[in-house]
Amino acid sequence: MKFLNFKIPHSLSLLSPRRTCSFSSQKTQLNKHPLSRKTFFQSNTKDSLISHLCDQKRLREAVQLLSQIDQPPSASIYSNLIQLCVQHRALEEGKKVHAHTKASGFVPGVFICNRFLDMYVKCGSLRDAQKVFDEMPERDLCSWNTMISGYAKVGKLDEARNLFDEMPERDNFSWTAMISGYVHHSQPKEALNLYRMMLRHENSKSNKFTVTSALAASAAIPNLRMGKEIHGNIVRIGLDSDEVVWSALSDMYGKCGSIEQARHIFDKMVDKDVVSWTAMIDKYFEDGRREKGFDLFSEFMRSGIRPNDFTFAGVLNACADHAAEDLGKQVHGYMTRIGFDPFSFAASALVHMYSKCGSIEDAKRVFKGMPRPDLVSWTSLIAGYAQNGQPNEALKLFELLLKSGTQPDHITFVGVLSACTHAGLVDKGLEYFHSIKEKHGLKHTADHYACIIDLLARAGRFGEAEDIIDKMPMKPDKFLWASLLGGCRIHRNLELAKRAAEALFEIEPENPATYVTLANIYATAGMWGEVAKVRKAMDDKGVVKKPGLSWIEIKREKHEFLVGDKSHPKSHDIHNFLGELSKRMKEKGYVPDTNFVLHDVEEEQKEQNLSYHSEKLAVAFGIISTPPGTTIRHQPITSKESTQVLYLSYLCG
DNA sequence: ATAGGGTTAG
């Protein structure tokens, strides 16, 4: 081996005055000249020392040692070094190695060039990769594919596609890189076009990689017909023995709305791994079938396969959505036992879960335990404070965020603006609103506009609100108009209420809430003729106000209530409690504020006959069925069809 | 050597 090394650094002879001497005579020369011999010996040792350092993953030292030798080491040493740079995502060191090849006069072949391409791509410097690619005298399929995949992964799809179209021939790697690039960057249709093109024109046969990408595309559209077609292909070609293919297939059915089919495939899988389990569990959550999801989750826990951060994040988000803090706490405990990455999104999902459940102290504790909280955690906590009656804490936290050097994004500002709304800080809110664009260089989103209109309308500053609406660069959405309508109701602004309602009738004519609110505004103003007109319009259009339905969960059992509901077995106790409660409230001097009734006029009239609103019934039942001091959480369901439904959950302590 | 499945915040 050492003898071989002797041959490679022929530039060694540069050190010796006799460059032209032959191999054997040089050896003799070396023997005769102690200095030359020492140099040779050192270089030789350094080569093997670099190899040794590479084996030990000591990248820094290896590169430092490399910089001390002027002549190129063997190609395999370069290769090892580059690979190590890739592993460490060490762009700086990688550049040093690259510079060394140039300085030492090493002429890299395609193989080493491809390594450099891969290194630059993985370290995130596509510019350097492109430069290497441009300078390559000779390229192979791998060179092209590495570039295409590099561009496709970061969403530079045009660049990727240009290379793809330009390359002389394509293989499965090229197709997969391109198709998955489209899938991951919201162009699933283009992905499927490409897949069809592959089937048509090229002789490339599908393999498990191309079909999984195509399945992901069908899932993202979603296109069940195409998904089924690919399923057929898979069976025909015999690719149905691969875990990932199965998983993608199950995912496709789930995303295309056939959750039963997804489960069917999931059940048939022999070697389910953490990804297939997690995906199936999340399917149930997305489908709103949380019991099923939680059941499958506990089944997974018993399977012996180790869950990962995706699993935890998925379940915790489901807990957050359902204010299921008891389960969230259990998951937290489990995570602590088996360990989780405090830098990962499982950690921020914890902050989110506790914030959403109203346990802001727990959220803060998790947040403080994070070595470097990410933006999602900051945002969750800020929004959590805003929602849980501590808007000033939310704003303080936001100022801390700015000091920490983390850049807020548009979602952070939704939390900030809603904090201002809750705190009634109108001018401060306006200041933040303007800073979004001016100080942070972000674009105002429809959400920001809805927030700021909500803020101004609640404060009765309708002139400014209208001014902003008229100047905004996009069409106001339904949330904005609904906020405005709500503000008009508080401040009895009939004119603007009409404008808001008309806009809402156009956007969502089928939503009864608009009619009800407008009728209420007219009723408050005593304009009964207008109330009747709104009612008639509702009837004419066939819009039906669904009765408000509320439910509360006591010990995992759901109890439902309609307005004026007397069918519950405990109905008598509930009504006694509520009667007692309003008696005591009146004694304390409480006067009901009719501006803030949550229900429509008809229901209000019912209430005068002691026909209680469903929320009141549910909360009352919760209070009398639980020990004193128990937290009762409420979670508005924001699905399209039932905006007035409340979800209340009693959590065992 | 280059490619595939599940993913947070109002």
The pLDDT of A396-406, averaged and rounded, is 94
pLDDT bracket for residue A175 (50, 70, 90):
very high
Give per-residue pLDDT as tens, A289-348. 988 999 999 999 999 999 999 999 999 999 998 888 888 999 999 999 888 888 888 999
- CA–C1' gap, A151 and B7, in angstroms: 22
Provide the CA A352 to C1' B10 distance, Å, integer.
Answer: 12
Task: Output the CA angle A470-A473-A479, nearest 5 degrees.
Answer: 75
Domain residue extents for chain A: 45-198, 550-650
Q: How far is the CA of A255 from the C1' of B6 (A)?
A: 12
Concatenate the DSSP letters of all residues of A485-506 into one string: HHHHHHHT-HHHHHHHHHHHHH
Per mean pLDDT, which range of A125-139, A531-545, A584-598, A636-650 is the poorest?
A: A636-650
Q: pLDDT tens digits for A65-110?
A: 899 998 899 999 999 999 999 999 999 999 999 999 999 999 999 9
Closest nt to A145 (CA→C1')?
Answer: B2
Residue A250: which nucleotide is closest by CA–C1'? B5
Give the residues across from A558 on adjacent strands: A553
DSSP state string for A3-60: HHHHHS-GGGGGTSS-TT--HHHHHHHHHH-HHHHHHHHHHHHHHHHHHHHHHTT-HH
> Band of the pLDDT at A43, cuts 50, 70, 90?
low
Q: List chain B nucleotides near protein: any atom < 7 Å from a Cβ.
A: 1-10
H/E element holding A618? Answer: helix A614-625
Report CA(A346)–C1'(B9) in Å, whole number: 13
Residue nearest to nucleotide B9 (CA to C1'): A376
pLDDT at A2: 27
- CA of A174: nearest nucleotide by C1' is B3
How far, in Å, is the CA of A480 from the C1' of nucleotide B10? 14
pLDDT of residue A618: 86
**Alpha carbons A551 and A549: distance in angstroms, whole number:** 7
Helix (H, G, I), strand (E, B) or coil at A73: coil
- Cα A364 from Cα A349, distance rounded (Å): 13
Q: Which region among A240-254, A489-503, A536-550 has the lowest average model confidence (pLDDT)? A: A536-550
Say whether pLDDT at A382 is over 80: yes
Give A275 CA → B6 C1' in Å: 5
Mean pLDDT of chain A: 85
| pLDDT band for position A652 (cuts 50, 70, 90) | very low
* CA/C1' separation A287–B7 (Å): 16
State pLDDT tens for residues A208-223.
999 999 999 999 999 9
- The two most distant CA atoms of chain A are separated, in Å, by 117
Which DSSP helix (H) or strand (E) runs through A557?
A: strand A557-562
Nearest residue by alpha-carbon distance to C1' of B7: A310
Q: Which amino acid is at A650?
A: Y
Q: Which nucleotide is nearest to A111 (CA to C1')?
A: B1
Closest C1' nucleotide to A409's CA = B9
Do the beta carbons of residue A410 and residue A445 sit within 8 Å?
yes
| CA distances for A530 relative to A83, A388, A508, A525, A536, angstroms | 76, 38, 21, 10, 10
Q: For A287 and B4, how far is CA from C1' in angstroms?
A: 25
Chain centre distance of CA A570: 43
pLDDT computed for residue A540 by the predictor: 92
Task: Inform me whether the pLDDT recorded for A131 exceeds 70.
Answer: yes
Nucleotide nearest to A180 (CA to C1'): B4
C-alpha distances (whole Å) from A636 to each of A497, A551, A615, A633, A639 are 24, 11, 11, 10, 9
CATH class of A45-198: mainly alpha
What is the nearest nucleotide to A414, using C1' and CA? B10
| Length A646 CA → B9 C1' (Å) | 22
Q: CA distances (Å), A590 to each of A585, A586, A593, in order?
A: 5, 5, 9
What is the residue-wise DSSP string for A352-404? HHHHHTT-HHHHHHHHHT-SS--HHHHHHHHHHHHHTT-HHHHHHHHHHHHHH
Pick from A257-261, A507-511, A583-587: least confident:
A583-587
User: Coil, strand, or helix at residue A551?
Assistant: strand
In this complex, the residue with its CA at the shortest distance from the C1' of nucleotide B6 is A279
Region of poorest pLDDT, from A227-236, A338-347, A550-559: A550-559
Q: Are strands A646-650 and A549-554 parallel, antiparallel or unpaired?
A: parallel
- Per-residue confidence (pLDDT) for residue A192, from 0 to 100: 95
Q: With 80 as the cut, is the pLDDT of residue A204 above it?
A: no
Query: Can you tell me which residue has its alpha carbon closest to the C1' of nucleotide B4?
Result: A209
User: What is the pLDDT, as a whole number, of residue A3?
Assistant: 28
Q: How confident is the model at residue A448 (pLDDT cuts 50, 70, 90)?
A: very high
| Average pLDDT score over residue span A459-480 | 96
Nucleotide nearest the Cα atom of A349 (by C1'): B8
Looking at residues A536-540, what average pLDDT do you find? 92
- Taking the CA of residue A306 and the C1' sugar atom of nucleotide B9, their distance in angstroms comes to 27
Buried b (16+ CB within 10 A) or exposed e, A187-224: bbebbbebbeebeeeeeeebbbbbbbbbbbbbbbbbbb
